[in-house]
Amino acid sequence: MNRIKWLDSARGLGIILVVIGHALGGLIDSKLGANQDIFRQLFFSIYTFHMPLFFLLSGLMVTKRLEKGQEVFLRGLIPSIVWPYFLWSIIQFTIIYGLGTLVNRPAESYWPVIVSLPWNTVSQFWFLYALFWMHILSVLLVPRLGREGFVLLALALKSLALILILPVPVKLVCNHLFFYAVGVWLATGGLETLIIKRGPWLKSVGVPLIAVATIGATLLAVPRYGADIPLLLAGSPEIANLAWRFPAMAAAIMGVAAVVAIASLPRIAGSRILLWLGRMTMPIFVLHVMFLAGTRIVLMRLDLVSNPALLLAISVAAGLIGPLIVERVTRALGLNRWIGFQ
């Protein structure tokens, strides 16, 4: 299958944002993050749109895949989502449990968490869990509701998630289904018409500026719509909660549009590094937390780095480079399919 350069480039930009976001979250929750207001504000800003971006990108190819048959589509979910979810959830949680108080949020029990993985999630792997159920919903509902009806249902579920008490995994699906559904609705052709084929000035200046202004306005509005969670005192899970609430929808939409617009610029879409990162999103996604958290723990425990900004930069580099090295080794050994990297 021919790869779409702007799509790989957007994934590359997105996975960089994911690594930066988790590196910021780790610092915020550590002793170095106590007075780092700018880190909390940056974390909030990234979290308004970086996961909506990946859900939208995940929905773009769904219609074409469904055309090959629902059974083929569903079978493909096992090696691409289900297996990586269980394998890497177990591996990462085992490491977290084994490290005890060395991590920011020590695990209190092991087997109850492992046994509950089919209905409860750990760490960043909630994304794979939510994406699996979104794919199931698309198979069940898109043929019956149509793509437009699927978007309307997703918007209704996001609204209902505000007022209903739901299990966390269900709430995560309801909160993010809208962006997946928009991806299904638009497909690659629709997104190209909406953004990709627009003029260079709009893509390089107009959309990014509007996105920055919208995210900035949302950040300023947090004390009003999120009065229950003080942003500058909150931990990373609470800040993520603020970033995914309904009033942040405009920031999410414009942030996603800005990343897609920038990714489609000729110099960006042709960047070999971004294209490569876009093809390496799975190994980076499943491994980056272990590398960046491990780097942060070692550097802080040995008191090698005390500057938060420098520690952030080193952690991000480790979170990107480490998984790429592992992927290269496992590919050479012929293991990538067995460990969910492809």
Identify residue 131 by its one-letter amino acid code.
L
Q: What is the pLDDT of residues 160-217, one digit of tens each?
A: 888 888 899 999 999 999 999 999 999 999 999 999 999 999 999 999 999 999 999 9
Identify residue 330 by its one-letter amino acid code.
T
pLDDT beyond 80 at 75 = yes
Identify residue 206 by its one-letter amino acid code.
G
pLDDT beyond 90 at 289 = yes
Q: What are phi and psi of 270, to 5 degrees?
A: -95, 5
Q: Find, among 237, 242, 274, 241, the residue nearest to 259 by Cα.
A: 274
Percent of the chain with pLDDT over 70: 100
What beta strand segments (E) does the chain contain? none
For every residue of 10-50, DSSP letters joined together read HHHHHHHHHHHHHHHHHHHTSGGGTT-HHHHHHHHHHHTTH
User: Average pLDDT in the 218-236 region?
Assistant: 91
Q: What is the pLDDT of residues 243-285, one digit of tens each?
A: 999 999 999 999 999 999 999 999 898 889 999 999 999 999 9
pLDDT beyond 60 at 1 = no
User: Average pLDDT in the 113-135 region?
Assistant: 95
pLDDT beyond 80 at 333 = yes
Residue 280's pLDDT is: 96
User: Is residue 57 domain-resident?
Assistant: yes
Residue 10's pLDDT is: 96
Q: Are 249 and 177 in contact, with CB atoms under 8 Å apart?
A: no
User: Is residue 339 domain-resident?
Assistant: no
Spatial distance between the Cα atoms of 198 and 298, rounded to a whole number of angstroms: 47
Full residue range of the structural domain in which residue 31 is found:
5-332
Spatial distance between the Cα atoms of 8 and 12, rounded to a whole number of angstroms: 6
**Which residue is listed with tokens 């930009």?**
13
Residue 104's pLDDT is: 80
User: Is residue 40 domain-resident?
Assistant: yes
Q: Find, among 116, 114, 187, 121, the residue nearest to 150 by Cα.
A: 187
**Which residue is listed with tokens 């993050």?**
33
Query: ∠ CA 298-277-78 to the nearest 5 degrees?
Result: 95
Q: Find, among 300, 335, 340, 274, the residue nearest to 11 by Cα.
A: 274
- Provide the domain count of the chain: 1
Residue 172's pLDDT is: 93
Residue 342's pLDDT is: 76
User: Average pLDDT in the 115-138 region?
Assistant: 96
Identify residue 180 by its one-letter amino acid code.
Y
Q: How confident is the model at residue 60 (pLDDT cuts 50, 70, 90)?
A: very high
User: Is residue 293 domain-resident?
Assistant: yes
Spatial distance between the Cα atoms of 87 and 138, rounded to a whole number of angstroms: 25
Spatial distance between the Cα atoms of 246 and 242, rounded to a whole number of angstroms: 9
Residue 152's pLDDT is: 96
* CA contacts within 13 A on the Cβ side of 66: 19
Q: How confident is the model at residue 55 (pLDDT cuts 50, 70, 90)?
A: very high
User: Is residue 312 domain-resident?
Assistant: yes
User: Average pLDDT in the 306-312 region?
Assistant: 91
Q: What is the pLDDT of residues 15-34, one digit of tens each?
A: 999 999 999 999 999 888 77
User: Is residue 216 domain-resident?
Assistant: yes
**Host H or E run for residue 69:** none
Cα R_g (the chain), whole angstroms: 20
User: Is residue 338 domain-resident?
Assistant: no
* b/e map 67-76, b = 16+ CB within 10 Å: eeeeeebeee
Q: Find, among 7, 100, 17, the residue nearest to 58 by Cα.
A: 7
Query: ∠ CA 260-16-310 to the nearest 5 degrees?
Result: 140
Six token digits for residue 242: 């603020």
- pTM, two decimals, is 0.95
Give the residue with greater pLDDT, 332 vs 2.
332
Six token digits for residue 208: 């990014």
For every residue of 294-314, DSSP letters joined together read HHHHHHHHTT----HHHHHHH
> What does the mean pLDDT of the chain come to?
93
Q: What is the pLDDT of residues 95-116, one digit of tens each?
A: 999 988 888 888 889 999 999 9
User: Is residue 116 domain-resident?
Assistant: yes
